[in-house]
Structure 1
Amino acid sequence: MTRIGKLYQREFPDFGTLILRIGLGIYMLKASGSYLFEGKMGELIGFLESLNWPIPDILAPLSQGVEFISAILVLAGIRLGAFSMAFTLFVAVVFAHGGRILEDGQLPFMLATCFLALGLIGSGKFSMDYYLFERKRNL
């Protein structure tokens, strides 16, 4: 068998989850950070007001704060961040986008499913979760 064939048959789950965590974490850090730090919060508040959400002045920064902190947790490899992000994005799909997952809710739906899968799979060996919990179990 060729070298490429042998490489293709190997599995690299810990590197795969690391790449997934980094990609999703950076994307969401940028997305939520743009609302929190780049003056886009008014746009989100206006959108929530147009949907007749109660207390949009509180819910908009709260949701973006949760997403920002969750993105940091995902990057660090803490599983709770992935579950928190999945929940927040599923709420956005259902309530802000009316459950239209094939229209304007497509991106948050896809991100939510990726974060849910990441939470279920785990963060892999290159994570704080592994360092705090799994490594001690293997000693």
Structure 2
Amino acid sequence: MKNRKSIYRLTFLDIGILILRFGLGIYMAKASSSYLFEGKMAELQGFLESLNWPIPDILAPLSQWVELISALFVLAGIRLGAFSMAFTLIVAVIFAHGGRILEDGLLPFMLSLCFLGLGLMGSGRFSLDFYLFGRKSKP
């Protein structure tokens, strides 16, 4: 009986991680693709230029491509995507939002915590990590 309960908990945990991966991955893929494919890149480049960032014409699209690829990795269940997304969002909180977590930096801060937690938990049974490495992608 004890073994059966642990199997069910594991399955529910895997389903929960899958739901979390899909929710976060779809949200970030949509956010980054709006900059890349819907003509919002000039807005981001202007914002980076107003912060006196070097080469905003290169850094703006680069950051959005990293976000999009990381979001696709999260959707596929590659935990590297979660860690790179957490790093990218923390950089956004610190530099773009001036570290004002409780003001305009709340959303990227909370998303970075979710991605960091997802990276630490692993991608679960329904992931590419599990099928490639034969493990649950545990730390």
How much identity, in percent, do the aligned residues show?
A: 80
Residue in structure 2 matched with residue 25 of structure 1 by the alignment: 25
Q: How does 1:10-89 map to 2 (within 5 A)?
A: 11=9, 12-89=12-89
Root mean square deviation, CA, Å: 0.8
With normalisation by structure 2, the TM-score equals 0.89
Alignment deviations for residues 98-119 of structure 1 (CA, whole Å, 9 cap, x no partner): 0011000000000001000000
Matched to 1:65, the amino acid is W
Provide the rounded CA distance (Å) in 1 between the counterparts of 2:111 and 2:134: 27
* Match of residue 6 from structure 1: none
What SS does the aligned partner of 1:126 have? coil
Does 2:128 correspond to 1:128? yes
Shift in Å, 1:128? 0.2
Shift of 1:134: 2.3
How big is the shift at 1:95? 0.5
Distance 1:79 1:43 in 2: 30
Flag as ranges the 4+ runs of structure 1 deviating above 4 A: none
- The aligned length equals 126
Which residue in the other structure is 1:91 paired with? 91
Mark the runs of 5 or more structure 1 residues left unpaired by the alignment: 1-9
- Normalization by structure 1: what TM-score? 0.89
Separation in 2, partners of 1:109, 1:57: 25
Alpha-carbon distance between aligned partners in 1 of 2:28 and 2:134, rounded to the nearest angstrom: 27
